[in-house]
Amino acid sequence: MNDAQRQALAERLLALADDELILGHRDSEWTGHAPILEEDIAMANLAQDELGHAAIWYGLHQELTGQDPDRLAFQRNALDYRNVQLVELPIGDWAFTMLRQYLFDAYEMLLLTRLRESAYTPLAQAAAKMGNEEIYHYRHSSAWVQRLGLGTEESHQRMRRALGELWPYVEELFVPLPGDSLLIQAGVFPDLAELQEAWRQLVQPFLAQAQLPLPDVPALPVTRQDHTEHLIDLLADMQMVARSDPEAVW
Amino acid sequence: MNATRPLPNVGMPEDPDYEEKLAQFEARIARGEKIEPGDWMPYEYRRQLIRMISQHAHSEVVGMLPEGAWITRAPTLRRKLILIAKVQDEAGHGQYLYHAAESLGVDREELIDMLLAGKAKYSSVFNYPTLTWADIGMIGWLVDGAAIKNQTMLAHCSYGPYSRAMVRICAEETFHYKQGKEMITIYAQGTPEQQRMAQDALNRWWWPALMMFGPHDTDSPNTPVLMRWGIKTKSNDTLRQEFIDEIVPEFHAIGLEIPDPELRYDEETGHWISGPIDWDEFWRVVRGNGPMNRARMAARRQAHEEGRWVREAMVAYANRQMVGDAVGVGS
Amino acid sequence: MTDTQWPRYEVFKQDKPHKPHEAVGTVHAPDPEIALQNARDVYVRRPDCYSLWVAPESAVFKMTAYELEQDPAWHVEEIPPDAPPQTYLVFTRQHHRRSMVAASHVGQVQARTPREALRRAMEQEAWTARPVYLWWIVPQAAITASQEEDVPSMFAPAQEKTYRDQSHYGGIIFGKHLQKKRQQKQKQPQEKQERSA
């Protein structure tokens, strides 16, 4: 790999890691507050899986750049994070969380399937391992979206509202980073346009049969360098202890 | 086709065969047999178990809150994963315990309703606030350490489902204690601020942890019957003393001081003799006037209320699927 | 609509392919698919698991040895003449040792009702060579099972979470640290002597 490719890959890995860190953080907020005890346990599992994925992606990033995962996770300023806005939005109600999870899980499951073929071996190996967990995530979130979409009038209305709120943020998942074209050429990372089409073919019919038609709302024209105020609040809490003494061993 | 039989409402002292059945029951326990759902048991045995097990279950569930509050602030990826796993275990332990209580013929709805109505007790140690990150380590070491002593004893309990829940919990609880001990050990030799934080956490959690073992034996009316029927095998004071003897040297070894000016080592008995416990504070907190009682219950009520539409929606979907299956309609 | 904690499902876990399924507890769930997922999240947080079964608690017929002894007529029942025979899975517990498990799978019988299934099970010498303290009878039709292809996604991930295992917290930290403290303590009296000299 040449320097430009290495740089592009590092940026891509950071984006993957930040998505998982922030989503895992959001999911963990449900612990102790879920609708039923079994779901406290389920959400805690999801959160651990996602944070585990973040650790793996930060680890691969460290192999390329030497940067410590905990420093990246806990000591950057908000504008330096590269997650999509979809994952930094507050947890909302259970419908919002389940639907956000579904939309992201579908994306991640399809992405990891393609990454198993990556020409960069560490990436392919990591994707193979994570892909298994993601299959279960998709099974879980799709089962819930189905049931809440079709359950009662109230659950249906909440799901429709959630979809309307989430839909503008979905497009950003498929916006390439500046260096992605180099990675696509090298067979390291897939073309997100193709991934988006596969995602649509999976998600649209599934949501349709759960009585959740895709909203006709425009996508927000944002890139991973743009963030909401929600990220500021999230990071203030998340970084509080770590930044109280950045040199301490915790 | 429903194959369950409701638990018989038997075992009352006024039943004609009570004495005979009681003798058989106590002989079974003496032989080390497990009492299972469906077996004859004195009404009082069942009543005591429902009380104990449900309190234990409620404690696990409420206990998720003081630690859960710090998940979002855990300072490294590893600490974050560990804390989520620990709190997840607590939910799981609550789940196993509600299951054991349900085997005695109560529904989880009933038990939860009683907790949220303020009519059920839970371990008052969870009514104290977690004020620093070091509290998380201290809870793991002290509070889970105390819980392990109790749970190890209860694993021998005569009632099958409770014993099995305890064995499963014991297998998982050691990780809670060890991760806490690891954390505090690091902080006690860390930066000056970390050392101060560790000592401060011990100062605040020491006495609540000792109170977890319950009132003194002389003030514990339930203990004799619980010991007679193999539910408890050691008294509150016995367990508390064992715990103090084990843990005081551990804290001293890393340079932390126990916040008890009267604590002294008795050469003759080999025991660490504790100063007096403030039982006024204990009863105040048990009765609902601790620093966090109201907040804990408010959080649980909110989760329960906000989750109602979810629970109902899932049932509605399931019922429609069943009807669909019954009339041969595809889903 | 009454708000419930959902019906209960009994969970049976098979640790490895050659071992029997064991009754490990229950989960609350609104339907069999969620029951299977909840069973995985509640009972497979730590390895091992190869297969998971769930069955509605109301479908499981349970009898203790004590109950059988107390009621010699336990098996008497009206069996509808057109009741079709079906497969019933049989689980037993045959010891009073401390255990996490209520009962283990020993095999299956054909019968028209759970009581008839239990009568048939009690005739199996292989299963009654040692005294049985607890019998569970579960209609095969009531079981929802995980599939072999689910193993990598449902059960293997638990193996990655080593931080959940108490042996992950080795004596390294404790040992090294205590050693360091002892060395520091040994140095101090010497330094004091040197200063006062």
Give tens-digit pLDDT for B178-193.
999 999 999 999 999 9
Pairing between β-strand C104-111 and β-strand C144-145 as defined by DSSP bridges: unpaired
Dihedral pair phi/psi, residue C107, rounded to 5°: 165, -155
Does residue B255 come out as left (phi exceeding 0), alpha (psi in the -120 to 50 range) or beta? left
Cα–Cα dist A107/A174, whole Å: 9
A36 CB neighbours in chain B (<8 A) are: 307, 310-311
Residue pair A147/B314 in contact by the 8 Å Cβ criterion:
yes
Mark yes or no for CB contact C173/B318 under 8 Å: no
What length is written for chain C?
Answer: 197
Residue pair C52/C154 in contact by the 8 Å Cβ criterion:
yes
Residues in contact with C146: Cβ distance below 8 Å, sequence separation at least 6, in sequence order:
C36, C40, C51, C52, C53, C154, C155
A135 CB neighbours in chain C (<8 A) are: 152-153
Write down the residue that tokens 């079906």 correspond to: C86
Q: Using omega within 30 degrees of 0 as the cis cutoff, is the peptide bond preceding A105 cis? A: no
CA distances from C145 to B181, B231, C22 (A): 40, 36, 13
Is C33 part of the contact surface with chain A (CB cutoff 8 Å)?
yes
Cα–Cα dist C55/C12, whole Å: 8
Residue pair B5/B130 in contact by the 8 Å Cβ criterion:
no
Higher pLDDT, A97 or B219: A97
Higher pLDDT, B325 or A22: A22
Is A88 part of the contact surface with chain C (CB cutoff 8 Å)?
no
With a cut of 70, say whether residue C189 has pLDDT above it: no
- Taking residue A69's Cβ as centre, other Cβ atoms within 10 Å add up to 21
Dihedral pair phi/psi, residue C9, rounded to 5°: -120, 135
Angle at the Cα of B134 from the Cα atoms of B131 and B140, rounded to 5 degrees: 105
In a domain, A250, yes or no: no
Mark yes or no for CB contact A143/C34 under 8 Å: yes
Shortest Cα–Cα distance, B331 to chain A (Å): 10
Residues in contact with A186: Cβ distance below 8 Å, sequence separation at least 6, in sequence order:
A1, A5, A119, A120
pLDDT, tens digit, 9 for 90 and up, residues C19-78: 999 999 999 999 999 999 999 999 999 989 999 999 999 999 999 999 999 999 999 999
The H or E element containing residue A241 is helix A240-244
C60 CB neighbours in chain B (<8 A) are: 3-4
With a cut of 50, say whether residue A168 has pLDDT above it: yes
Mark yes or no for CB contact C96/B102 under 8 Å: no
Cα–Cα dist C110/C9, whole Å: 23
C144 CB neighbours in chain A (<8 A) are: none
With a cut of 60, say whether residue A18 has pLDDT above it: yes
The SS3 call for residue A130 is helix
* Chains touching chain B, criterion 3+ CB pairs below 8 Å: A, C
With a cut of 60, say whether residue C82 has pLDDT above it: yes
Partner-chain residue, chosen from C3, C163, C173, that has the shortest CB–CB distance to B312: C3
Q: What is the DSSP letter of B139?
A: I
- Taking residue A112's Cβ as centre, other Cβ atoms within 10 Å add up to 21
Cα–Cα dist A162/A90, whole Å: 12
The SS3 call for residue A182 is helix
With a cut of 50, say whether residue C192 has pLDDT above it: no
Shortest Cα–Cα distance, A48 to chain B (Å): 6
Cα–Cα dist C62/B98, whole Å: 19
Residue pair B139/B180 in contact by the 8 Å Cβ criterion:
yes
Is A216 part of the contact surface with chain B (CB cutoff 8 Å)?
no
A45 CB neighbours in chain C (<8 A) are: 41, 45
pLDDT, tens digit, 9 for 90 and up, residues B279-322: 998 888 877 777 788 899 999 999 999 999 999 999 999 998 88
Residue pair A76/A32 in contact by the 8 Å Cβ criterion:
no
**pLDDT of res. C150:** 95
- Number of domains, chain A: 1
Cα–Cα dist A42/A48, whole Å: 10
Domain boundary assignment for chain C: 8-164, 173-197
* Share above pLDDT 70 across residues of chain C, in percent, rounded to a whole number: 86
With a cut of 70, say whether residue C174 has pLDDT above it: no
Partner-chain residue, chosen from C34, C59, C163, that has the shortest CB–CB distance to B82: C163
Is C28 part of the contact surface with chain A (CB cutoff 8 Å)?
yes
Show the domain range for A96. 3-244
Write down the residue that tokens 């040197």 correspond to: C194
**pLDDT of res. B331:** 41
Cα–Cα dist C138/A14, whole Å: 51
Mark yes or no for CB contact B318/C30 under 8 Å: yes
Residue pair B231/B159 in contact by the 8 Å Cβ criterion:
yes
Angle at the Cα of B76 from the Cα atoms of B67 and A241, rounded to 5 degrees: 65
Among A105, A107, A213, A108, residue whose Cα is nearest residue A164: A213
Strands lying side by side in the sheet with C104-111: C61-64, C134-139, C86-93, C104-111, C22-28, C8-14, C51-56, C144-145
DSSP letters for chain C: -------EEEEEEESSTTSPPEEEEEEE-SSHHHHHHHHHHHH-SSS--SEEEEEEGGG-EEEEHHHHHH-TTTT-----TTPPPEEEEEEEE---S--S-S-EEEEEEEESSHHHHHHHHHT-HHHHSS--SEEEEEEGGG-EE--GGGIIIIIGGGGG-GGGSGGGS-SHHHHHHHHHHHHHHHHHHHHHHHHH-
With a cut of 60, say whether residue C187 has pLDDT above it: no
| pLDDT mean over A179-198 | 97
Among C22, C18, C25, residue whose Cα is nearest residue C43: C25
Cα–Cα dist A143/A184, whole Å: 33
Dihedral pair phi/psi, residue B93, rounded to 5°: -65, -40
Among A173, A170, A171, A189, residue whose Cα is nearest residue A181: A189
The neighbouring-strand residues paired with C111 are C86
Assign residue A237 the CATH number of its domain: 1.20.1260.10
Residue pair A80/A230 in contact by the 8 Å Cβ criterion:
no
B75 CB neighbours in chain A (<8 A) are: 70, 74, 241-242, 250
Cα–Cα dist A212/A157, whole Å: 10
DSSP letters for B293-305: HHHHHHHHHHHHH
CA distances from B148 to B142, B176, B295, C81 (A): 10, 10, 26, 55
Residue B29 tokens read as 């326990």
Cα–Cα dist B88/A168, whole Å: 33
Is C154 part of the contact surface with chain A (CB cutoff 8 Å)?
yes
Write down the residue that tokens 């067979």 correspond to: A187
Partner-chain residue, chosen from B109, B254, B255, that has the shortest CB–CB distance to C4: B109
Residue B330 tokens read as 């595809």
Partner-chain residue, chosen from A38, A49, A52, that has the shortest CB–CB distance to C27: A38
Average pLDDT of adjacent 10-residue blocks, chain B of 331 residues:
44 92 95 93 94 96 96 98 97 97 95 93 91 97 96 95 96 94 95 97 97 92 90 94 97 96 96 95 79 90 97 96 67 41
Angle at the Cα of C149 from the Cα atoms of C146 and C152, rounded to 5 degrees: 95
Q: What is the DSSP letter of B269?
A: T
In a domain, A249, yes or no: no
Partner-chain residue, chosen from A36, A52, A132, that has the shortest CB–CB distance to C152: A132
